[in-house]
Amino acid sequence: MKDLTPVTLINGRLVLPRSEPRDGALRCADGRIAALGEVTPQDGDRVIDAKGALIAPGLIDLGVFAIDKPAFHFGGITRAALMPDQGVVLDKRSAVRFSAQSGKPDLWVHPLAAATKDLAGMELAELALMRDAGAKAVSTGRRWIADSGVMHRLLSYCAMLGLVVVTHAEDGGLTGSAVATAGEMATRLGLPSAPAEAEALAVARDIALTELTGARLHFRQVTTAGALSLIRAAKARGVAVTAGVTPAHALLSDVAIGDFRTFTRLSPPLRSEADRQAVLAALADGTIDVVSSGHDPRGPEDKRLPFADAEPGMAGAETLLPLTLGLVRDGVIDTARAFALLASNPAALLGVNAGLLALGAEADIAVIDPDKPWIVDSDKMAAAAGNTPFDKQGVQGRALMLLKGGAVIAA
């Protein structure tokens, strides 16, 4: 049974929206944040001394491919939006309902309903029924919907249902079986490649359809300068479009694939250094709204292959927090912006009352030492597999304690 004892966290630094962390305390009662700031523990409270650590909202990972609870807890993640690309595609209400219950009580899973039946890009799935079964948004999965008529109907229907559409931004007609971005590195390695413009083409069409239908659209990963410019301009016009990225595309360029190491085989593939710099600029200026892990643990059967034959994906849940905090240390973003990217913005897209420290919000809390050093080691990760492109890299930042609904679930 869940421990309902009220908890008061003292001597911490509160991570509040749009401000630098400030000294304070926080009290959780009945699963919600009951007080924050200058807080005096009440009789019967469990009192936890944060010892100067950050008291922050639990991370919300928007768009994971597997429910990997040990890795999520290690990484300070209390909620995860599950992509529909599963063994049983999330294109029916029974599959959505099962997924929505799969992490409880110490992890909330928010299924993303498949936009089309079997994610084939042809016929719309039972979107309203899946929404009623617990789907928090709709997703095209790993692929872009090539048929503009289908995408138009999808956006129109989701606008009526009040559901965000989460889409993959690569024109499949251009990418084909490519595993790298066209350029010097792909040419040197002899890898099948596609031009970076495949992303901008997909983004341009989907922005046009979003503007036409009045829907809300989230590009799960945007990784090129051209596509980011289109999104920046669309936002300036008031189009309801948002964008996400993974730390890998902010911190690594296609130079990282130089030794054919399949841990760097990602989708979309790593881009040029100019595109990476454009991602950093978009993180700084607000064009990018979400940083997510893209968590996709893959074992040797998928990764211990020639680069062109390996499956894309990385185990990202454990490194999401420290790598994003690294952007704070590098001066790209500040702490408040980091947790907007990691928590409050994903919560807003999913429509859940979490992701920020506010009275009445669900008490999903992470106590974090932002300076704690550790080494990423693929052989010792809590994830189901250790396919991280950051293997053996030193990072800083660890979740020391995690609360879900005001109950301590990891310490």
Angle subtended at Cα 369 by Cα 363 and Cα 372, rounded to the nearest 5 degrees: 150
pLDDT of residue 147: 97
| 162, 166, 202, 87: CA torsion to nearest 10 | -130
List C-alpha distances in Å: 270 to 26, 81, 171, 292. Answer: 41, 23, 16, 16
Burial of 293 (0-12, 13-18, 19+ CB in 10 A): buried
Instruction: State how far the Cα of 295 lies from the Cα of 313, in Å rounded to an integer.
Output: 7
- CATH class for the region spanning 59-355+374-392: alpha beta
CA angle 323, 164, 142 (to 5 degrees): 60
- For tokens 């499956």, the residue is 311
Helix (H) or strand (E) holding 139: strand 137-139
pLDDT at 1: 42
Q: Going residue by residue through the chain (411 aa), what tens digit of pLDDT does each one get?
A: 456 799 999 999 999 998 999 999 999 999 999 999 999 899 999 999 999 999 999 999 999 999 999 999 999 999 999 999 999 999 999 999 999 998 889 999 999 999 999 999 999 999 999 999 999 999 999 999 999 999 999 999 999 999 999 999 999 999 999 999 999 999 999 999 999 999 999 999 999 999 999 999 999 999 999 999 999 999 999 999 999 999 999 999 999 999 999 999 999 999 999 999 999 999 999 999 999 999 999 999 999 999 999 999 999 999 999 999 999 999 999 999 999 999 999 999 999 999 999 999 999 999 999 999 999 999 999 999 999 999 999 999 999 999 999 999 987
Give me 170's structure tokens. Answer: 């690569």
